Structure 1
Amino acid sequence: MLRSLKDIRGYILSALDGEIGCCKDFLFEDRAWVVRYIVADTLKWLPGRKVLISPMVVGDASASTRQIKVGLTKEQIKASPPLDSAAPVSRQYEIAYSRHYAMPHYWGGSAKWGSHAYPHLLAKEAAATHLPTETDADCNLRSAREVSGYRIQAKDTKIGHLDDLIMDYLSWTIRYLVIDTSNWLPAAKKVLVAWDWTGLVDYKRSRIMVNLDSNQIKESPEYDPRKPVNRELETVLYDYYGRPYYW
């Protein structure tokens, strides 16, 4: 269930009663690196509107039809709180969003999604058990498009740039960075680096530090975007770096 965000971008979003547009972007929390929302391009249906879709109401993402199922009606989405497309998503907006859809909020627990590991489990809880307040601290939600192209810095030198992010489609956790080494290696290739192996992310300088040596990355298994990231590939990757498996 590991999926490329670059690949999913552009999928049609199908509500319970019709299409609402397509997947334009993803917003992830910059501390936990968990995708919290799909940003929908509503095309001609709601021109000029920035619409967020929570993973709590998202179903399958079909590679054959390039569609994502959304468990909301078009009227529910149309009546959602308006969002300034030029402004960041605040905690106050998220509170209004969760109240509109009667959704439990995801923050405040010890797991990725409140007290759960997966958004679909959190969605089964009553919203009344998660009463968000105006005093909740702001989180920082980042755009996947924004970080695409960030420079990657190994322990000893620059090694390329961020080309894509690989997400666990069950937990919506970002598992891997896809690094394009074309501006560093003569024989350019793409490689995977687990998010757990990164260090500081400098959003002001558009740079991500990786806790690996450049030679390790240079000789690491090559990533082919045409092939799925499965457990076999993950095992080869973790064995190469001598890291304990996360699964």
Structure 2
Amino acid sequence: MLHSANALRGFAIAATDGELGSIKDVYFDDAEWTIRYLVVNTGGWPNGYDVLLSPMSVLDEAWDRRALRVDLTMQQIQNSPSIDTAKPVERQHEEEFNTYYGFPFYWAGPHRGSAVYPGVIEKKPLDAADVLAIRKRLEEERAHADPHLRSCSDVVGYHIHATDKQIGHVEDFLFDRTDWSIQLMVVDTRKWLIGKHVLVPPKQVERVSWEDRTVFVNATRDQVEHSPEYDEAHPPESGAELELYRVRDQGTRPPSRLW
């Protein structure tokens, strides 16, 4: 079953030796459409502040109790590199963060572009070629000042613009709990189609205008209108039902539908 990114807010987080706090937001990578970090408010600590945690540190999940446990100690988290979550996360901060925890880089090296796979990725030492690739990618992204990390809380509410006209706004993102990849975007079309929420795969996103808070999708208004509807009480499964969306998206769909 796919899970709502919005619903993660408020999830309790526990370290191996104590209660840490609760999830405040999540950051996703808009190049690979994968959740990369959990923003956790450590309200229970003196002078509580926000910290970043990677899904790679998730040890146990209790979705019914809205709680996650991470394979980290309180001391490890307290000593982690400081990151101001009120500002965009720079790649240099990510490099320091992942090096501190010993996590592989997802933007360069042997795991470039891969999903998170908590607890599954083998932590391989970087060779000389990996280091050079990382440095080159860092230089390129620092020049463009865009590590492609976005706040789910910020993007919710962005306008959705089809190829012919505006059709709705971003309501939520649905991710696979196995690898934390975002599989579908929930679009609220109620201003145009009363009471209707539809599902659009991120691969249909043509571009995002962060200045105009608008997501442009490569589909007509009619195609978005006839996309599969979203039922919050019965979210899509990550198996056959989701595969049906993928198959349709690859060209076997009826001409009048998006997939």
Structure-to-structure mapping, 1:107-186, within 5 angstroms: 107-109=107-109, 118-122=117-121, 124-127=122-125, 136-137=138-139, 138=141, 139-185=147-193
Structure-to-structure mapping, 1:185-196, within 5 angstroms: 185=193, 187-196=194-203
Distance 1:119 1:131 in 2: 23
Q: Is the 8 A contact 2:98 2:105 kept in 1?
A: yes
Amino acid at match of 1:125: K
Distance 1:200 1:107 in 2: 20
Amino acid at match of 2:69: K
- Percent identical among aligned pairs is 35
Q: Is the 8 A contact 2:200 2:227 kept in 1?
A: no
Question: Could you say which residue in structure 2 is the equivalent of 1:219?
Answer: 226
Distance 1:78 1:199 in 2: 40
Q: Is the 8 A contact 1:111 1:117 kept in 2?
A: no
CA-to-aligned-CA distance 1:32-82 (integer Å, 9 cap, x gap): 122111111111315352201111111343222110121100110011111
Q: Is the 8 A contact 1:49 1:82 kept in 2?
A: no
Distance 2:247 2:113 in 1: 29
Question: Could you say which residue in structure 1 is the equivalent of 2:76?
Answer: 76
Distance 2:112 2:226 in 1: 33
What TM-score comes out, normalization by structure 1 length? 0.86
CA-to-aligned-CA distance 1:91-113 (integer Å, 9 cap, x gap): 11112212222323222147565
Question: Could you say which residue in structure 2 is the equivalent of 1:65?
Answer: 65
Deviation of 1:244 after TM superposition, in Å, equals 6.0
The secondary structure found in structure 2 opposite 1:208 is strand
Amino acid at match of 1:211: N
Amino acid at match of 2:167: I
CA-to-aligned-CA distance 1:9-42 (integer Å, 9 cap, x gap): 2110111112101111111122112211111111
Question: Could you say which residue in structure 2 is the equivalent of 1:43?
Answer: 43
CA-to-aligned-CA distance 1:138-177 (integer Å, 9 cap, x gap): 3221101110000001111111100000112222211111
RMSD of Structure 2 on Structure 1 (CA): 2.6
2:190 counterpart of 1:198 = no
Q: Is the 8 A contact 1:106 1:113 kept in 2?
A: yes
Distance 2:62 2:156 in 1: 24
Question: Could you say which residue in structure 2 is the equivalent of 1:4?
Answer: 4
Distance 1:42 1:128 in 2: 32
Change in Cα spacing, 1:212 to 1:60, as seen in structure 2 (3 Å) is farther
What TM-score comes out, normalization by structure 2 length? 0.83
CA-to-aligned-CA distance 1:153-203 (integer Å, 9 cap, x gap): 111111110000011222221111100111222x22111001111211111
Q: Structure 2: state its 5+ residue gaps.
A: 142-146, 254-259
Change in Cα spacing, 1:26 to 1:162, as seen in structure 2 (3 Å) is same
Distance 1:93 1:239 in 2: 38
Distance 1:117 1:2 in 2: 16
Deviates more, 1:228-237 or 1:3-12: 228-237
The secondary structure found in structure 1 opposite 2:169 is strand
Q: Is the 8 A contact 1:13 1:21 kept in 2?
A: yes
